Structure 1
Amino acid sequence: MGGIIDINELVFEGRDRILIITNAYPHPDQLYRNGFIHRRVLSYMESDIAIDVFVLHPAYKNPGGYVYEEVQVYRGTEAHLRTLLSYKAHKKALIHFVNPQMVHAIKETCPDMPIITWVHGFETEAWHRRWFNFLDNAASLRRVLNMADTYYVDQLSFMNWFYRTTDLDVTFVHISEWFKTHIAECDARAVSRKSVIIPNVIDETLFSYQEKPAEYRKKILTIRPYASRKYANDLSVNAVLELSKRPIFQELDFSFYGDGVLFDEITGPLLEFKNVTVHKGFLPQNEIADLHKQFGVFLCPTRLDSQGVSMCEAMSSGLVPISTDTTAIPEFVEHDVSGLLTKKDNPVDIADAIERLYFNPEVFSRISSAASRSIQEKCATNVVINKELELING
């Protein structure tokens, strides 16, 4: 368990360790904080890489440390990170959710240390990218407008410098080419000097492929957050309303899973239908994988996605994704090959895609197997981790 530590009296064996710097990490009392980083760390450790994690946050004024599933984690402020770096025990820094404090600490203590930075989204996006979140919430609109001239300006100014600097040896990891070109570098108004494209991992063991009976083309699943309008859950609901006017509707079975401030509002119109079930709440990964085995179609329209991880997990399980031909989605779904892509903000097009699968079971079966095969070739654990290990060891 964690406790206050004297960061000035640490002892390290050797000087070939890797330091991961992030804004949050799983703890026995907070299991889900950046769990995807922890899963990466465990994979790296299986390849005999010695790793420490430092969680930088101003709340940790007293430095602390704990071990979580054999991973040594330290927590503290920028000053404590500088002290840790001054040991010179780490040969490379891996950063998730970068901010100026993380980079300045490295620049002033270990300027020659190579840095690999994963760019996830909010740290490099202009505020207006999520304009659709503020249309019906005056308080959140005021809050983001107040931040527009402070946090967003400062962060994007920092990213502009960070992408271009020659003072540090930095490699950037983007999860899709679209995100790199149209968001990360566009909003920061700078092209990164060194970058690679590596998508997020999809656990093909958990989300394993099982051949879908043709009958499953009538069973449609959606599992989405309802905290943002970027997930376009309203389009899924409106597609169901459109299908309710068509003769095939009673033969279809829909299940909506999710939670968030918009859940009740968006799913309300579905409650009148006997063939539509609505489940409010978040699901652990193993329960999601079990659900995948009971359905054939995954409904996941979007307004903004840098990858669409839940969509990719469903594809790995063999569900046919119905998503939107926008942002990064076409990098992961090829229309009529590994999924069906619909026009932006067009629930009728979504309804047409569902109806097409209904009348063409051979199309459903063909796309189902291709979806799993194609996404595992792009995002399976060994594929992604091997690319990251090459980067770390390079």
Structure 2
Amino acid sequence: MKLLVLVQNYPSNENPYAMSYVHSRNIIYVENKCQVDVLNFSTNEQYNYEGINVLPEENINFENYDLIISHAPNLKNHYRALRKLHSKKIVFVFHGHEVLRGNLDYPKPYSWVKQSFIKSQIQNCYQIFKLKILTRWLKGRFSKNNKLGMIFVSDWMREKFVQNMGFYPEDFVRTTIIPNAANSVFINQNYNPKNGNLLADCVTIRPFDDSKYALDLVLDIAKENPKKTFHIYGKGEYFEHNECPENVTVFHKFILQKDIAELLNNYSCAVMPTRFDSQGVMMCEMATFGIPVITTNFTVCIEMLKEFENVTFFDLNDFSQNIEFINRGKIANKTKFNSYRLVDEELKFFHGL
């Protein structure tokens, strides 16, 4: 099977984290004897990244492929490139923003994250316009009986699609729910804490200034547990506008994905709340690795992690709780986010179109 994968951005030597969850899939497609090319709308030059050919749009002949996979389809590029293809098999993979209403869906930003009123209103109008165009386009494809499939990374994501697009996709096309897989390092390695030689009790890895990642809730837990120590990794201006409790140490840096598992062995618990997420891949990877994880009882968190004995859910509105009782020594679930199992589900879905 010849696959063409459409992405707004893709990993490169200069930027190895751009939509890396798509690259992880592509590697396994190749292992399954598929031919894979990537159309990266953000590049003007062809390059090869870890065995995957990445091309600019001008180098692509869509007729050369058996199936087109569009990740997080946007109007600017995906819609423009695909709207004239009436006879190709296409699978859309919905990750989040592409069927969400921007500011109208996401939680209220922190006070210091400024956006002018006019710009905010323009963006809100665009989000509504985007959904109308996407709805009209998809329904037009349905009426032509084209081979079309949809993958959602969570049932919550599918429900948001129905809510914002105004129709049930199953009435027209084949759909399925397949989450993003965990990076292999979290599958192949197991949590092995350095007892007696930990860097701190709890760890959080989050962008600081995006309110959906709820860094304020991490600090609430830290204040409620003054005898526990917390390390927070990430970047942003949060601590230029908010006090840092004495039991919290902040590291203004991101951690390479390949190094996160080893870092987690230096802590007894990961605190990873969220106010809004279509899956929460890093949270899922930590739970898969085996470290005890504290997160919010947001709908998608429960959907993704309810089978994990090492995960504790706190209510979003009552997150600052004592954490002495967090369970230790639970066996991690290595199956749910296993990349080979999930890609096998995707390939079966592709062949069924």
Residues 64, 195 of structure 1: alpha-carbon distance in 2 compared, 3 angstrom cutoff: same
- Residues 107 and 275 in structure 2, CA contact (< 8 A), matched pair in contact too: no
- Residues 212 and 276 in structure 2, CA contact (< 8 A), matched pair in contact too: yes
- Residues 204 and 316 in structure 1, CA contact (< 8 A), matched pair in contact too: no
> Match for residue 296 of structure 1?
268
Say whether 1:343 aligns with 2:315: yes
User: Which residue among 26, 45, 48 is the counterpart of 1:67?
Assistant: 48
Alpha-carbon offset, residue 135 of structure 1 = 4.5
> Match for residue 228 of structure 1?
210
Say whether 1:239 aligns with 2:221: yes
In structure 1, what is the Cα distance between the partners aligned to 2:16 and 2:239? 24
Unaligned runs of 5+ in 1: 1-15, 358-362
Alpha-carbon offset, residue 211 of structure 1 = 5.0
> Match for residue 241 of structure 2?
265
> Match for residue 190 of structure 1?
167
Task: Kindly provide the amino acid, as one letter, of the partner of residue 149 in structure 2.
Answer: T
Residues 159, 18 of structure 1: alpha-carbon distance in 2 compared, 3 angstrom cutoff: same
> Match for residue 146 of structure 1?
122
> Match for residue 202 of structure 1?
182
Say whether 1:322 aligns with 2:294: yes
SS of the counterpart of 1:139?
coil
In structure 1, what is the Cα distance between the partners aligned to 2:291 and 2:117? 37
Alpha-carbon offset, residue 92 of structure 1 = 0.7
Which residues of 2 match residues 1-394 of structure 1 at below 5 A? Answer: 16-56=1-41, 64-76=45-57, 80=58, 84-85=61-62, 88-100=63-75, 101-108=77-84, 110-127=85-102, 128-133=104-109, 135-139=111-115, 142-149=118-125, 151-164=126-139, 165-166=141-142, 167=144, 168-181=146-159, 183-193=160-170, 194-206=174-186, 208-212=189-193, 219-244=201-226, 249=227, 252-266=228-242, 268-270=243-245, 272-273=246-247, 276-334=248-306, 337-348=309-320, 351-352=321-322, 354-357=323-326, 363-365=327-329, 368-369=330-331, 372-373=332-333, 376-394=334-352
- Residues 152 and 179 in structure 2, CA contact (< 8 A), matched pair in contact too: yes
In structure 1, what is the Cα distance between the partners aligned to 2:24 and 2:184? 14
In structure 1, what is the Cα distance between the partners aligned to 2:124 and 2:236? 24
Task: Kindly provide the amino acid, as one letter, of the partner of residue 189 in structure 1.
Answer: G
Task: Kindly provide the amino acid, as one letter, of the partner of residue 169 in structure 1.
Answer: K
SS of the counterpart of 1:364?
coil
- Residues 163 and 191 in structure 1, CA contact (< 8 A), matched pair in contact too: no
Alpha-carbon offset, residue 136 of structure 1 = 4.3
Alpha-carbon offset, residue 323 of structure 1 = 0.8
Task: Kindly provide the amino acid, as one letter, of the partner of residue 64 in structure 2.
Answer: A
Residues 378, 161 of structure 1: alpha-carbon distance in 2 compared, 3 angstrom cutoff: farther
- Residues 54 and 73 in structure 1, CA contact (< 8 A), matched pair in contact too: yes
In structure 1, what is the Cα distance between the partners aligned to 2:158 and 2:302? 14
Residues 237-273 of structure 1, C-alpha deviations (whole Å, 9 max, x = no match): 01111222xxxx1xx232111112335435x322x33
- Residues 279 and 301 in structure 2, CA contact (< 8 A), matched pair in contact too: yes
Unaligned runs of 5+ in 2: none
Misfit runs of 4+, over 4 Å: 211-216
- Residues 220 and 255 in structure 1, CA contact (< 8 A), matched pair in contact too: yes
In structure 2, what is the Cα distance between the partners aligned to 1:261 and 1:326? 25
Residues 173-231 of structure 1, C-alpha deviations (whole Å, 9 max, x = no match): 111111211x2221222221331110111124445223558878x82111111131001
Task: Kindly provide the amino acid, as one letter, of the partner of residue 190 in structure 1.
Answer: F
Residues 142, 338 of structure 1: alpha-carbon distance in 2 compared, 3 angstrom cutoff: farther
